[in-house]
């Protein structure tokens, strides 16, 4: 099968690698020029995606924001994932996402809407725990702020573009809540079971300190049957998804208390690094599953079993700072090939048979493994991470540490 991946900043590099490993022909176009070397010598990097559209058996857009191309792909009869106008709206327009939640009956935290940082400065500071500032249009994750003091809130607003639309949500007491995501795959008409839950860690360092990142790792576990949390969140989106023939994964991130599941945001695309974790548990290969989903013939997500699936993100400088730094470009990246858990290379290239660091954004690779319980999955994934040799290597050593505790709480509350 020939697969065309259209990317903004290389988020889909890991799945591109996996499909090459499965024997598919992958053509990869990355818009941002800083990613010129990522996966060179590994996949077919192309300077323009348009000449490859007619040859593609499957087109994947790895991030929201590409829906303007949907009419072209549809006219040519190309099975496509990640190229849907509703997906763009749900993720890029935070106000619209909150309105969709309310329309279908999904609870949310107390949310205020503003058309600019200047108007947001008029917010009355009444919640003692503070507020979360979330701009629209997929600004870098560093522009999402947890503000527990009014002076921090006022400073955060000064860092945003003057015309940025944003929402401001009241912080929920984390001591009495669990953060968890619920994902379902949709084939344009129906849900493809099983659903799954994800526990994700976004802070750079152990102990939830350091800057926010896109992700530093997560634990995914498929469900034997839909539970109360699935029914209270992602399943309620079905009328919206069916109306637009949405195909692919859709994820609702929540803070769950004893009494309510409060939706924070929607991910209407592949979740990184949840897709890498999930892929490690797929039966029959990623490429065939994505093709069957895009064509609407898939009836289920073909999992090998109901193991816990884990992914750990391995990074180096300049991650997660948005600074062009090529000082480590060309440095050796060792241990990508070998036994154990799956490795999904991202910011690397291959030259003269050797893997080297491409110095695009610092996400060297993701490492995935599975286990009958969380501890077994952790042992396997970190044993595989230990084989890697990367200059200034950095990864969190506590991915999965909160899972058993949080699952116990959710079960006691009747959600799982």
Q: For the chain, which residues make up each domain, given as ranges?
A: 2-84, 110-171, 176-412
Mean pLDDT of the chain: 95
- Helix axis angle for 13-21 and 286-295, nearest 10°, is 110
Where residue 142 falls among pLDDT bands split at 50, 70, 90? confident
CA separation for the pair 60, 160 (Å, rounded) = 31
Give the full edge-to-edge strand order of the sheet including 342-345. Answer: 261-267, 247-256, 178-187, 191-205, 209-222, 308-315, 363-371, 342-345
List the one residue out of 306, 313, 312 whose CA is nearest residue 373: 306
| Residue, of 15 and 143, whose pLDDT is higher | 15
How far apart, in Å, do the first and last CA atoms of the chain sit?
39
pLDDT given for residue 62 in this prediction:
96
pLDDT given for residue 253 in this prediction:
96
CATH class of segment(s) 110-171: alpha beta
Contacts of residue 360, Cβ cutoff 8 Å, sequence gap at least 6? 10, 34, 35, 36, 37, 38, 347
Q: Is the pLDDT score of 145 beyond 80?
A: yes
pLDDT given for residue 325 in this prediction:
84
CA separation for the pair 346, 363 (Å, rounded) = 6
CATH of 176-412, one of 3.30.1360.200, 3.30.470.20, 3.40.50.1860, 2.40.30.10: 3.30.470.20
> pLDDT (tens digit, 9 = 90+) per residue, 310-367?
999 999 988 998 778 889 999 999 999 876 569 999 999 999 999 999 999 999 999 9
> pLDDT (tens digit, 9 = 90+) per residue, 280-307?
999 999 999 999 999 999 999 999 999 9
Contacts of residue 380, Cβ cutoff 8 Å, sequence gap at least 6? 310, 340, 341, 369, 370, 371
> pLDDT (tens digit, 9 = 90+) per residue, 103-134?
999 999 999 999 999 999 999 999 999 999 99
* Whole-number percent of the chain with pLDDT over 70: 99
List the one residue out of 75, 92, 93, 72 whose CA is nearest residue 6: 72
DSSP conformational letter for 24: -
Would you say the CATH fold of 176-412 matches that of 110-171?
no
> pLDDT (tens digit, 9 = 90+) per residue, 235-244?
999 999 999 9
CA separation for the pair 142, 138 (Å, rounded) = 11
DSSP character string of 98-141: HHHHHHHT-----EEEESSHHHHTT-----TT-EEEEESTT--G
List the one residue out of 213, 378, 368 whose CA is nearest residue 276: 368
CATH of 2-84, one of 3.50.50.60, 3.40.50.720, 3.40.50.300, 3.30.360.10: 3.40.50.720
Least confident of 135-144, 255-264, 312-321: 135-144
Where residue 408 falls among pLDDT bands split at 50, 70, 90? very high
DSSP conformational letter for 175: G
CA separation for the pair 256, 368 (Å, rounded) = 26
Where residue 208 falls among pLDDT bands split at 50, 70, 90? confident
pLDDT given for residue 298 in this prediction:
97
pLDDT given for residue 164 in this prediction:
93
> pLDDT (tens digit, 9 = 90+) per residue, 73-100?
999 999 999 999 998 998 889 999 999 9
DSSP conformational letter for 206: T
Q: Is the pLDDT score of 137 beyond 90?
A: no
CA separation for the pair 134, 168 (Å, rounded) = 6
């Amino acid at each position: 099968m020939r697969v065309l991946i259209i990317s903004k900043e290389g988020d889909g590099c890991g799945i591109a690698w996996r499909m090459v490993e499965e024997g598919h022909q992958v053509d990869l176009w990355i818009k941002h020029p800083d990613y010129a070397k990522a996966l060179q010598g590994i996949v077919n990097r192309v300077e323009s995606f348009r000449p490859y559209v007619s040859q593609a058996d499957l087109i994947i857009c790895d991030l929201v924001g590409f829906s303007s191309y949907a009419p072209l792909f549809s006219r040519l009869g190309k099975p496509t994932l990640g190229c849907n106008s509703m997906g763009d709206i749900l993720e890029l327009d935070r106000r619209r996402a909150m309105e969709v939640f309310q329309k279908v009956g999904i609870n949310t935290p107390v949310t205020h809407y503003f058309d600019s940082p200047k108007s947001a400065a008029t917010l009355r500071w009444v919640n003692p725990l503070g507020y979360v500032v979330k701009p629209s249009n997929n600004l870098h994750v560093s522009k999402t702020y947890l503000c527990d003091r009014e002076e921090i809130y006022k400073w955060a607003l000064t860092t945003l573009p003057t015309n940025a639309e944003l929402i401001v949500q009241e912080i929920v007491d984390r001591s009495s809540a669990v953060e968890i995501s619920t994902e379902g795959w949709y084939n344009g008409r129906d849900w493809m079971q099983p659903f799954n839950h994800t526990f994700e860690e976004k802070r750079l360092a152990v102990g939830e300190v350091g800057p926010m990142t896109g992700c530093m790792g997560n634990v995914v576990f498929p469900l034997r049957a839909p539970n109360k949390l699935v029914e209270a969140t992602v399943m309620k989106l079905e009328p919206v998804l069916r109306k637009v023939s949405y195909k692919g994964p859709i994820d609702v991130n929540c803070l769950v208390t004893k009494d309510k599941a409060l939706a924070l945001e929607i991910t209407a695309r592949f979740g990184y690094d949840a897709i890498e974790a999930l892929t490690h548990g797929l039966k029959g290969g990623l490429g065939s599953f994505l093709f069957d989903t895009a064509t609407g013939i898939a009836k289920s997500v073909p999992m090998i079993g109901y193991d816990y699936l884990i992914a750990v993100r391995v990074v180096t400088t300049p991650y997660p700072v948005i600074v062009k730094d090529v000082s480590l470009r060309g440095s050796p990246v060792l241990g990508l090939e070998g036994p154990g858990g799956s490795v999904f290379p991202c910011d690397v290239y291959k030259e003269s048979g050797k893997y080297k660091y491409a110095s695009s954004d610092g996400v060297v690779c993701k490492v995935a493994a599975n286990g009958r319980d969380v501890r077994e999955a952790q042992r396997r994934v970190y044993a595989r991470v230990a084989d890697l040799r990367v200059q200034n290597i950095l990864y969190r050593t506590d991915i999965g540490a909160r899972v058993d505790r949080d699952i116990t709480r959710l079960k006691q509350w009747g959600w799982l």
